[in-house]
Structure formats: structure tokens, C-alpha cells
Amino acid sequence: MSAFSQHFAFEFRTGIRNKTLLLMNYLFPLGFYLMMGFIMPEINPPFLETLVPGMVVFGILAATLLGLPDPLVNARETGIFRSYKINGVPSSSILIIPALTTMLHLVIVTAIITATAPLLFDAPLPVNWFGYVVTFMALACACAGISVLIGVVSSSSRITVLWSQLVFVPSMLLGGLMLPYSMLPDAAGKVAQLLPATQAMNAFNGLAMGKVADFAPWGSVIALFASGLLGFALAIYLFSWDSHNTKRRGHPLMGLLVLLPYVVGMLLA
Amino acid sequence: MDDYAIEVRDFRKTYGDFIAVDGISFDVKQGEIFGLLGPNGAGKTSTLESLEGLRSPDGGSLRVAGIDPAREPRKLRNVIGVQLQSGGLPEGITPDEVMKLFCAYHNVAPRFDLLERLGLNEKRKAQFAELSTGQQRRLALALAVAHNPQVLFLDEPTAGLDVASRVELHGLVRELQAKGTSIILATHDMAEAEEMSDRVAILLGGKLVTIGTPIEITAAGAGLTKVSVHTQGNTLIDPGLRFPAVSQQSVKDDYAIFFSTDIGQTVSALIAQVEAAEDTLIDLRVERPSLEDRFLEITTTGGSQ
């Protein structure tokens, strides 16, 4: 097996073996999906129409924002990166392989949600599977890019939680998972457009679920992919092997550039 | 140049205003075990980590197997092996997995035989966090040597190891040396440094205060050599006797004990006295000052001797 496949296999197993990652990759998204599926349609029947994309978005947010950054910070602070450097593991592999294995876990979770939602809750399935898969990939790329960037720029686990929650909490409130984008006040709508979850729900609605998008759905897909790629590029640029002894190439606030595609999209809309 | 595995010239490392290493120079020959000693804060770690490519020097030049560690880090990876002092591995990884992973990145076949040899065969499927400190250190050593590096860096290699593991590790290090691997050994264990090292350098306050073979370094000290003599007739147990170069003498368990500044003169005179007294020599022991004694002497005097 090549170095890449050995590394990929190890990181994939870690996503199940590590209790925190198992929680973020599977237990939390699937538990939340079951809870929402049983409770929300009773309270708010239209919620059922977006149950599948909404819970897929939630799963991606949880696995990436809550699962990816902290292991990166811990690995840097406990000398694992130094050990990797000495043994020839490139920084790109350190950042990209955990993101790819998380995406593979997300494929499994998404498949479970998509397969069981019609049976358990009578939730509608996507009408356009291509749009569904593309939007899933775009959001997974965007959130993984932001998450590894948070892991790279954060100086400690506490800072990681702060940055992750700065994206996760507004995504839950304004991202279209609980309330449709159209119901948000104008100012909140503008803020919401800076969130990957909002762009993803817009693309799911317009490209996969056969509903009317609030703004250009392919624009959302492009912004998500661009943001994800920018996130990975910035993470590789800002990466440091050791927070004590090596200098970072740029200022951590450069990481905010990851929001640029959403800002451009908002200005063009 | 090819005779040297490591060349350090006027190496300097600073952290802000603090000078950690102040212009040191030394070489390590091919196939040599070189002990790097010094108290905490002497500059050992800065020197080692700069040679390993983990830190950049602030002055001077470093070459490891002809490679500049700061400028050619990728080339360096396949010629050095490093046993890090701390674990430095993910908690959930198993010895089998990490052996496969690192060997794959070094582009060599996994060396599971090293895990067996270092007593890790039963722990090959155990997670790193479940291994004892000694097992973690043995795993670190197995990983450091799996790709047959030209230069091996060992940082406190036997800390936390039991006697059998320590003997096994020393045996493995000797084998690597016999195959031509150059080894830098950083340790606080002076007995280990004296036993293993061909040459030793002692750092103090970022400066290199002495370098040489363990015997040369101990012989250069002001420490007294202890001579214990037991004869059949106990003719040396006489407080009135005086011998050349002896500064102190005492008696313990039928042994006359002398502390000498010149062992040659003292022993010759003692044997002459035994013969003159028509006595018979039963036992004569000479204990030179150890490397630890010399190290303490250097570090307490600030390297002025």
C-alpha cells in the first residue's frame, strides 16, 4: 500500500476508534436526525420537506466543525506533527487526509439518512440526485476547508471551540435548517449568506429537492467549492509544525479570507 | 568531508535575547557513537533539533550526511532516524499501523522484526496510549531505525526502561554502529554515556566546554584516583607511612585506601613498600573518577577547569 493509502486507512479507522470522533461523525448527527424526525414534523409539518437536506447539512457541520479542528491542534501541541515531519509525512497529507476520511464518514451518514428518512418519517427524497450529490460534495468541501483552517490557526483547544462555534451556532440558527431563509429579516439574511449552511440549503432546494431557490443555486455551489479550496490552500500556507519553535508564514487572521467567495457572491446577487 | 556524518561549525541559536547555543563546533565521524551531555538548559535540545531539521539555526552551519538540515529537509528525512524524548504519536495508533505508515513514507518495507526484537510483539495491536512508557520508548526506537538511517539521534533512549530492555537497546545500538550508522546520544545517564560513547561533548550555558573520549575527559579532571590495597600482613595499614602523590589515606575492612593525584607514582611506591616489608599482595583496586564525577566537576565550576 502507498503512504497515502496507509495514512488514509489509519485516519478512517481513527474516525470510528476515537470516541469523540465517533460521536461527531455518527452518533450526534444520527441521534439529532432521529430526534428531529420524530419531533419537528408534529410541531412544524413543512419541516418534513427539508428534513433530508437539513439533517445532511447538520451532519456535515457536526463532523467537520466539531470533529476536525481539535485533533489538529492537539497533534501539533503534543509533538505528533514533529514526529510526522521527521518521518517525512508532508503537511498537505496531515491536513487533507483527515478531511477526506471525514467526508467518507459523511457519505455513510448521508446514505443512512437518505435511505431511512422516507421509511421512518415519510420525508420526501431529492428529485435530482446529481444536484443532491454535487451540493453534498460542495458543502463537505467547504466545511472541511474551514475546519482544517480553524485547526491550523487556533493556538489551543479553547480557541478552536470558539472559532468552530462562531460558524456552527449561526449556521444552526440562520442557515435554513430550522427556519427557511425567506423568513429571515434582511440584515440576518445578509449575515446568513456568509454561512456555508445557508448556501448549501439554497443549493439543495434549487438543485435537488425541486423547490425554488432564494438565490442562484449554482452560485452557491461555486461559492462553497471555492471557499473549501481556499480554506485548504490557506491552511497549508499558514500551517506550522510546532507552535513554539517554528514561525508561521502569515498572520492567523488571514484565515478570514475563506469567507471571500461568500462576500463576492453576496455582492453579485 | 566524507569521513564526517555530522559537521557543526560556529552554530548559534537564539530565542529573542536569550542565547541558547553560542557558536559551538564539533564533528561526528561515520560509525561513531557521540554523547552530547549537559545539564538542563545547556543547549543540547536546540542543537539536536536543529540537526534534525526541526529548528533553524541563527548562525553558523550544520551538515548531516552532507545535507543542510534547514535547506534540504526532504532529503534529510531518509538519512536520519530520530527517537524523540516524548511520545509524539497519535493515542489511537497501534505499533503495527505506525510501523506501516512511517515505512511507507520512507518508501521501505515495514520492519515488524524490530517490534519483535524490542519486545513489542504482544502489543502490536494495542493502541499507543495503552503502552507503558518503556514500550512507547522502544516503539520510538524501532521506528527511528526501521529505514536504516545513516545518522541516528537518540534522546534519553533508556529512560523508563527495565534492565533487560536497556541491554537489548544497547545491543541494537552497537549493531547499528557496526553497520556504519553514526549515533548522537543525548542523555543525563552518565554511566550510559561512558559505556556507549566513543566520544563525548559537554555543553554548558550554550558553549562547548569539553570534547573527547570518556577516558580523556575523566583523566583531565582534578578528581583523585582511589587505590585500595589488601595485603596478607597488613603492612600498609600504618598511619605513619607516606607515599608520593597521595593526598588522603584511610583504612576500611583490612584495605588500606589511598587517594592519589598520580596513579603511576603511587602504585609503584605501594608495591615497592609491600616487597620491602616481605608482605604478600592479596588485592589491589584502582577506581578512576567516573564521567559523572568529571561532569559534576565541570558543571559546578562552570567549565573553568
Residue spans of the domains in chain B: they are 4-213, 225-288
Mean pLDDT of B233-258: 88
d(CA B260, CA B247): 6
pLDDT at B290 over 80: no
Contact list, B90 vs chain A (CB under 8 Å): 14, 75, 80
Residue B141 has pLDDT above 80, yes or no: yes
Q: Which residues of B touch A10 (CB under 8 A)?
A: 93, 97, 101
The per-residue pLDDT for B134 is 83
Cell of A219: 452560485
Least confident residue range of A12-26, A210-224, B168-182, B285-299: B285-299
Contact across the interface for B86 and A79, Cβ inside 8 Å: yes
Q: Quick check: A228 and A210 in contact, CB under 8 A?
A: no
Number of helices and strands in chain B (H, E)? 10, 13
A22 inside 8 A of chain B by CB: no
Q: For position B40, what pLDDT does the model report?
A: 86
Spatial neighbors of A162 by CB under 8 A, at least 6 apart, are none
Q: Is the pLDDT of residue A238 over 70?
A: yes
CA distance B141 to chain A (A): 12
Q: Which residues of A touch B43 (CB under 8 A)?
A: none
Give the pLDDT confidence score for residue B228 in this predicted structure. 92
Higher pLDDT, A26 or B216: A26
Distances (CA, A) of B34 to A37, A152, A240, B192, B193: 67, 37, 31, 12, 9
Write the residue in A14, A79, A88 that is nearest to B84 by C-beta.
A79
How buried is B115 (Cβ within 10 angstroms: 0-12 exposed, 13-18 middle, 19+ buried)? Answer: buried
**What mean pLDDT comes out for the span A170-190?**
87
A248 touches chain B (CB under 8 A): no
Cell numbers 608495591 correspond to what residue?
B271
Distance CA A215, CA A207 (A): 11
Report, as an integer, the average pLDDT of B192-199.
90
The Cα B291–Cα B115 span in angstroms is: 33
Of A261, A262, A235, A233, give the one whose Cα is nearest residue A248. Answer: A235
Instruction: List the grid coordinates of A195.
Output: 454561512
Mean pLDDT along residues A63-71: 95
C-alpha grid cell for residue A12? 478512517
A83 interfaces chain B, CB cutoff of 8 Å: yes
Does position B51 have pLDDT exceeding 50, yes or no? Answer: yes
Contact B159, B137 (CB under 8 A): yes
Nine-digit cell string for A158: 479553547
Residue B77 has pLDDT above 50, yes or no: yes
Which range among A14-28, A126-140, A184-198 has the greatest average pLDDT? A126-140
Of A3, A241, A245, the CB nearest to B104: A3
- For residue A30, pLDDT beyond 70: yes
* Contact of B143 with B175, CB cutoff 8 Å: no
3-state secondary structure of B21: strand
Q: Which residues touch A244 (CB under 8 Å, ≥6 apart)?
A: none
CATH code at B225-288: 3.30.70
The CATH-assigned architecture of domain B4-213 is 3-Layer(aba) Sandwich (3.40)
> Is A10 touching B (CB cutoff 8 A)?
yes
Which residues in chain B are contacts of A14 at CB distance < 8 A? Answer: 90, 92-93
Q: Please give the DSSP secondary-structure letter assigned to residue A218.
A: H
Q: Average pLDDT in the B83-88 region?
A: 75
Nearest CA in chain A to B94: A10
Please report which residue ranges of chain A form alpha helices under DSSP H.
3-17, 19-22, 28-43, 51-61, 69-77, 80-86, 91-121, 129-153, 157-174, 186-192, 196-203, 217-238, 260-268
Indicate the residue type of A100: L
* Residue of chain B with shortest Cα separation from A8: B101
Residue numbers in A near B86 (CB within 8 A): 78-79
Joined together, the cell numbers standing for residue A79 give: 509533538
| pLDDT 10s digits, A123-165 | 999 999 999 999 999 999 999 999 999 999 998 889 999 999 9
Give pLDDT, residue A130: 97
Half-sphere exposure of A205 (CA within 13 A, CB side): 24
pLDDT value of position B1: 46
* CA–CA gap between residue A90 and residue A98 (Å, rounded): 13
CB-nearest to B100 from A6, A18, A242 is A6
Residue A80 near chain B (CB below 8 Å): yes
- With a pLDDT cut of 70, the percent of chain B lying above it is 96
The CA distance from B16 to B295, in Å, is 29
* Closest CB from A1, A18, A86 relative to B77: A86
Identify the closest residue of chain A to B102 by CA–CA distance: A87
- Single out the residue of B61, B50, B54 nearest to residue B1, CA to CA: B61
Contacts of B100 in chain A (CB under 8 A): 1, 6
Q: Which pLDDT value is given to residue B86?
A: 64
* A88/B106 Cβ within 8 A: yes
CB count within 10 Å of CB B2 equals: 7
Q: What b/e sequence results for A40-49 when a residue is b if at least 16 CB atoms lie within 10 Å of its CB, and e otherwise?
A: bbeeeeebbb
* Residue-level length of chain B: 305
The verdict on A212 touching B (C-beta cutoff 8 Å) is no
pLDDT higher than 60, residue B208: yes
Compute the mean pLDDT over every residue in chain A, rounded to the nearest whole number: 92
Tell me the shortest Cα–Cα distance from A97 to chain B, in angstroms: 13
The residue-averaged pLDDT of B102-118 equals: 93
| Number of other CB atoms surrounding residue A31 within 10 Å | 11
A-chain residues near B74 (CB < 8 A): 88
- Evaluate if residue A243 carries a pLDDT over 50: yes
